[in-house]
Amino acid sequence: MSIDPVRGVGTDSETRCVHYATESDVAALRFGCCETYYACFECHEAIAEHPPEPWPTARRGEPSVRCGVCGAEMTAATYTSSEACPACDAPFNPGCAEHYHRYFEWIDPDDGG
Ligand SMILES: [Zn+2]
Ligand SMILES: [Zn+2]
Ligand SMILES: [Zn+2]
């Protein structure tokens, strides 16, 4: 495999981390600041030595989410409209929607999620 490893705190083989470790917490998110995949924003906070920046609006057409089960990359639009990985059918955690604004610049933090 030539893909970079996902960074995170205590990540398992399907990129769950110590913060989000349920069956469906398998998506890794890429950050605009360092173009690196992290298991979650708390992992970025713990490991990266710089403030987090969400994936920029100008690059929203580029893949910025990776499935931890099969390694498939997808755009934010695909991820946010999918209940499961389009490539391997691994279910995504619907609770992640509360955090989309931390990962995707163009999504507003609306109802206090
Ligand atoms: Zn970063
Ligand atoms: Zn984490
Ligand atoms: Zn997958």
* Residues with CB in 5 Å of ion ligand 3: 67, 69-70, 72, 85, 87-88, 90
Q: Is residue 14 part of a domain?
A: no
- Domain range enclosing 83: 27-103
* Span from the CA of 65 to the centroid of ligand 3 (angstroms): 11
Ligand number with the minimum distance to the CA of 50: 1
Specify if 63 maps to a domain: yes
Is 6 domain-assigned?
Answer: no
The CA distance from 85 to 20, in Å, is: 17
Residue whose token pair is 């933090």: 109
Q: Are 54 and 35 spatial neighbours (Cβ–Cβ below 8 Å)?
A: no
CA-CA-CA-CA torsion sign (73, 7, 35, 20): positive
Give a yes or no: residue 89 inside a domain: yes
Q: Residue 35 falls within a domain, yes or no?
A: yes
Look at residue 109 and tell me if it is in a domain: no
In tens, the pLDDT along 82-113 reads 999 999 999 999 888 899 999 999 998 875 44
d(CA 15, CA 8): 8
* Overall pTM surpassing 0.85 (yes/no): yes
Residue 50 in domain: yes
Q: How many domains does the chain have?
A: 1
What does the pLDDT profile of the chain (113 residues) look like in tens digits? 446 789 999 999 999 999 999 999 999 999 999 999 999 999 999 999 999 999 999 999 999 999 999 999 999 999 999 999 999 999 999 888 899 999 999 998 875 44
What is the CA(98)–ligand 2 centre distance, in A? 15
